[in-house]
């Protein structure tokens, strides 16, 4: 899959421009749940480097997976000041970064039992049930026993027809009717224990384009 360069760059800059909004601040608190020296950011999009700056601890090894080649190229090549600043910070802290063009539903044996935390923002809830379960199973396989999965997701969208079509075309987002409770159930079916969860309803969902944001921290038992 390949989104246009303009789409990826706009997605990245819009996200940064919203950083001080109550919604973004609420969502960002979940990044503080990410800890440990080996971290996987699954479906990282163009935010891989910026997300890492918000983690509770700076990891030694950071892996970003995304199925969209334009995201991987953007992360490698973009010279936007915020990307360069984040990359510089990670380099100064000796963070080993790997970028993988990979579908999260497909098993990558090299990642097995490798990570202290898997962070997945903006993906869970946009697949059907079978693919959500396959994704959770893969992410569980990549965690060390006792590792944690940190989920942040947006739901109940108010995207225009054109925006939704564009996101569908790029396999970026699909409208589904999963609730956080449905996701908790699937997490349990896949062997996770939910440690912490919360949800936030924006005051002006039509303007914000989302009616619900939720976060979940789950544990892979030892
Ligand atoms: C809504 S964006 C979220 C990006 C970023 N994590 C964030 O929080 O803004 C969804 C991301 O999931 C990626 N994605 C969608 N399906 C995927 C799949 N099957 N495997 C890996 N990445 C996928 C898209 O390419 C896109 O980068």
Please tell me the predicted confidence (pLDDT) of residue 194.
98
Task: Please identify, by atom number, the ligand 1 atom nearest to the C-alpha of residue 103.
Answer: 20
**Ligand 1 shell residues, CB under 6 Å:** 15, 43-45, 47, 65-68, 71, 103-105, 121-123, 171-173
Report which of 120, 19, 20 is spatially closest to residue 64, judged by C-alpha positions: 120
79-103 confidence digits (pLDDT tens): 999 999 999 999 999 999 999 999 9
How close is the Cα of 123 to the center of ligand 1, in Å? 6
Pocket test for ligand 1, best of 17, 107, 122 (most atoms within 8 A of CB): 122
Pocket test for ligand 1, best of 123, 150, 151 (most atoms within 8 A of CB): 123
Report which of 87, 76, 40 is spatially closest to residue 59, judged by C-alpha positions: 40
Proportion of the chain above pLDDT 70, given as a percent: 100
Domain ranges in the chain are 5-219
Q: Which residues contact residue 49 at a Cβ distance below 8 angstroms, ignoring those fewer than 6 apart?
A: 75, 83, 86, 87, 90, 97
Please tell me the predicted confidence (pLDDT) of residue 1.
80
As a whole number, mean pLDDT of residues 197-204 equals 98
Protein residue with its CA nearest to atom 24 in ligand 1: 172
Q: How far apart are CA 141 and CA 64, in angstroms?
A: 16
pTM of the model: 0.98
User: HSE-up of 101 (CA within 13 Å, CB side)?
Assistant: 11
Protein residue with its CA nearest to atom 10 in ligand 1: 172
Cα dihedral sign, 215-176-184-46: negative
pLDDT band at residue 54 under the 50/70/90 scheme: very high
Task: Please identify, by atom number, the ligand 1 atom nearest to the C-alpha of residue 3.
Answer: 25
pLDDT of 175 above 90: yes
Please tell me the predicted confidence (pLDDT) of residue 96.
98
Protein residue with its CA nearest to atom 18 in ligand 1: 103
pLDDT of 129 above 90: yes
149-168 confidence digits (pLDDT tens): 999 999 999 999 999 999 99
- CATH fold label, 5-219: Rossmann fold (3.40.50)
pLDDT band at residue 24 under the 50/70/90 scheme: very high
Cα dihedral sign, 117-70-27-124: negative
Largest CA distance in the chain: 45
pLDDT band at residue 147 under the 50/70/90 scheme: very high
Please tell me the predicted confidence (pLDDT) of residue 119.
98
């Amino acid at each position: 899959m390949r989104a246009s360069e303009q789409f990826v760059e706009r997605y990245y800059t819009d996200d940064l421009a919203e950083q001080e909004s109550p919604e973004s601040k609420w969502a960002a608190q979940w990044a503080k749940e990410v800890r440990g020296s080996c971290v996987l950011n699954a479906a990282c999009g163009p935010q891989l480097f910026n997300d890492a700056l918000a983690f509770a601890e700076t990891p030694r090894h950071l892996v970003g997976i995304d199925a969209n080649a334009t995201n991987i190229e953007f992360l490698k090549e973009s010279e936007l000041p915020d990307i360069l600043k984040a990359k510089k910070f990670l380099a100064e802290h000796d963070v080993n970064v790997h970028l993988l063009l990979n579908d999260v539903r497909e098993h990558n044996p090299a990642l097995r039992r490798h990570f202290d935390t898997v962070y997945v923002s903006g993906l869970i809830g946009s697949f059907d049930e079978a693919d959500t379960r396959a994704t959770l199973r893969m992410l569980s396989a990549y965690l060390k026993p006792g590792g944690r999965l940190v989920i942040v997701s947006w739901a109940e969208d108010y995207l225009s027809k054109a925006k939704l079509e564009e996101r569908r075309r790029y396999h970026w987002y699909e409208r589904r009717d999963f609730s956080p409770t449905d996701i908790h159930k699937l997490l349990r079916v896949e062997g996770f224990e939910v440690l912490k969860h919360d949800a936030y309803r924006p005051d002006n969902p039509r303007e914000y384009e989302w009616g619900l944001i939720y976060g979940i921290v789950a544990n892979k038992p030892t």
